[in-house]
Structures are given as C-alpha cells and as structure tokens.
Amino acid sequence: MIPAALAFVVGLILWLIQRDRITLEYTISESEIFPKDGRKGKYFLLNLKNTGNKAIQNINYKAELNLGKIESLQFSKEELINIESQTVQKITGLIPLLNPNDELHSTITIDNAEEYSKITILARGIGITASESKMDQFSIYFKDSFIPLMVGILALTAFTTFTSFNQVKVSNTIKSISDLTKELEKSEQGQPEREQIVFAILNKSGLSYIMPQLLANSGDNLTYWKTGLTIMHLYLLDKKNSKKYVNALNLISKLEVIASSSKGFLLYLAGKIEKEEGNTTQTMYFYNLCKKETPLMYEHLMEQDPSYDLKAIEQWMIKHQSKL
C-alpha cells in the first residue's frame, strides 16, 4: 500500500514540475540621480527572463522612457536581440529565441534625468506577454500544494526507512528536502540576485554611477571578486573618493553568501587602497582581518603582493582611460 501511494505522489509531483509552462518575466532597477557633465544622469538595469520550461520565439521588445533622454544602451548578450529602432526615448527590437532560463540583461544610461524618470518594458511573444517578476499562479500552487506533498513524501520515506532501522538515511532525507524547499521559497519571494545586491551596496556607498561599467566588464558573470577588482581599478582613476571605494569593498565582504576566498580578496583590496592613501591603521585592520578570517587566501595574496604594482596599473589606466 505504502509503495503504491509513494509512487502516485512522486508521479503527481513530477507531472506538476514537468508540464509545459510558458512564462516571461522582467525586472527593472534604477540608480539614484548623479551629476553628469553639469547635468543629471541616471541608469536603469533591465532584465528579461524566460522563467518557464518552453522556448519562446519572436519576442517583440520595447523599452520606453517617460522623462529625459536615452544616452547609451548596453546588452549583456547582444546576439539575443536585433535592435530595430532607437530614439532618445524609445528602444524597440526583436528577440528571435529565448530558451528556458535565458536572460537578457541591459543597462540604459539617461541624460537630463529627473526624479520621476522611469522606464517601462513591453515584451510579447507568441501566446505570452512578459509580466513583472512576482509570485505567479504556479508559485502560489507550489506553495499551497507542492510543499505539503513534499512533507507527505517525507513522512512516507521516514516510515519505510524506520521500518528498516535506517535512521541516518531519514535524517539526510529530511535535511535535503528541507534545504530544497527553503531555497525554492526564497526564489519565489523575489530573493535578490547578485547583481541587485551589488547594485544596492554601490548605491549606499555613493558609487551608483560605476554600475554600468561594472556590468560591461563582467557581462553575465558578475562575481564578487571581479566586482572588487573593478572597484580597485576605478579607484586608481578617482582617488578623491577612496573612502567610498573602501566602504563598498568592506560591505560586500560582509555578505553571508560570499565565498571565503572572495571575502579575503576584497579585504586585501580594501587594505591595499588604505595603504595607497597612507592610512597605516586602516591598512593593518583590513590585512589582519583578512589573515584572521581567510588565512590561506591571506598567505596566497601576501606572496604575490610585491608584484601588484598599483603605480604601474594607474599609469596604464590613465594612458588608456578613453578606451575604458
């Protein structure tokens, strides 16, 4: 009886997961207004994602600005979209194909920005119109029905496992299912992705204007250590704002989700900036913190530190600044 019930429940869950789902979602994030050549600038981060399990063809894409003037446009994967027209307030294009989990990131920088400058997105494919990312009907069904079914599986698995005296397997099963459901629930509730986390930290640090260049340098692979390296090199061209760059590195290093090696690298870079600024106390603070919390990374970085010549990098960047 129990094996039959278990097979039925597993089959039902697999059907719920594998049935055709055609969904298209977008997100829009915006920076605060920043000074730009005597005027006001602002940038927007747009993301369009196929969140279903079926490919979507021939998506008509339109991004429209209400106030201000579009100055520049960058796509993370230019090969995904064919731009048909671009004016100072509207961009239209065609996305021939967007496979499941494919994402199209774009950064739009505007000039003559105002507080109420906003961008709207309209993306329509065959049988689907993109909606702003939120918990959709499948997610609600998942939350109300799928998780209880998982609990049912857990109970059945626990019962059958206990009958064979395999308590270790039960414990592992409970942990695995619990971890899975927690991660899925976080995703449904709009857990910020890495780009949005970095975006918020740069805003807090007063460096929102460097986000477009950061995305241009990193593309879809915006790792924390690459973020730190870009911040370090931008500091060399903007030393008057050294405190802002150190603050950003410090805040990113404190994220719970960051890998230990990346954390150590960011603390090292913060110390490197403080050393360049002649702040001995703060230099030792960040170096000692790096040594304490990531000893292996600290050892690795100290071995190559003499070769990391900031003066030479600074001179090269100043020489090639117009190309960056």
pLDDT value for 14: 59
User: What CA–CA distance (Å, rounded) separates 188 from 51?
Assistant: 11
pLDDT at 290: 92
Crossing angle of the two packed helices 194-204 and 224-235, in degrees rounded to 10: 30
Taking phi over 0 as left and psi of -120 to 50 as alpha, with beta for the rest, 68 belongs to left
- Distance of alpha carbon 181 from alpha carbon 96, whole angstroms: 34
Instruction: Give the Cα separation of 205 and 222 in Å (integer).
Output: 18
**Which 3 state secondary structure label does DSSP give 279?**
coil
- Compute CA distances 270 → 48, 223, 240, whole Å: 34, 17, 15
Return the pLDDT at 64. Answer: 92
> What single-letter amino acid sits at 130?
A
Helices (H), 189-223: 194-204, 211-218
Helix (H) or strand (E) holding 91: strand 90-98
| DSSP of 282-294 | HHHHHHHHHHHH-
3-class DSSP state of 171: helix
Which letter, b or e, does each residue of 143-176 get, where b requires 16 or more Cβ atoms within 10 Å of its Cβ? beebeeebeebbebbbeebeeeeeeeebeebeee
Token pair recorded at residue 250: 């410090």
Q: Which residues have C-beta within 8 Å of that of residue 79, sequence separation ≥ 6?
A: none
Q: Tens of pLDDT along the chain (324 residues)?
A: 555 555 555 565 655 556 677 888 999 888 888 887 788 888 888 889 988 888 888 999 999 999 889 988 888 888 889 999 999 899 999 999 989 888 888 888 888 888 888 999 999 988 889 888 864 444 434 444 455 555 555 555 555 555 554 555 545 555 555 555 555 555 555 677 777 888 888 888 888 888 877 777 766 677 888 888 888 888 888 889 999 999 999 999 998 888 999 999 999 999 999 998 998 899 999 999 999 999 999 999 888 888 777 777 777 767 665 444
CA 224, distance to chain mean position in Å, is 10
* Separation of alpha carbons 286 and 269, rounded Å: 9
Beta-strand relationship, 131-132 and 24-30: parallel
Task: Centre a 10 Å sphere on the Cβ of residue 77 and count the other Cβ atoms it contains.
Answer: 13
Spatial CB neighbours of 199, under 8 Å, sequence gap ≥ 6: 29, 31, 45, 208, 211
Distance CA 249, CA 41 (A): 24
- What is residue 140's predicted lDDT score, i.e. its pLDDT? 38
Task: Name the DSSP letter for residue 20.
Answer: -
Beta bridge partners, 123, equal 61
What is the reported pLDDT for 181?
Answer: 57
Note the pLDDT of residue 285: 93
pTM listed for this prediction: 0.51
Instruction: Give every CB contact of residue 188 below 8 A, 6+ residues apart in sequence.
Output: 135, 139, 142, 143
Residue 246 pLDDT? 93
Dist. CA 9–CA 20, nearest whole Å: 19
Token duo for residue 91: 């961009």
Cβ distance 228 to 212 under 8 Å?
no
Q: Supply the pLDDT for residue 224.
A: 87
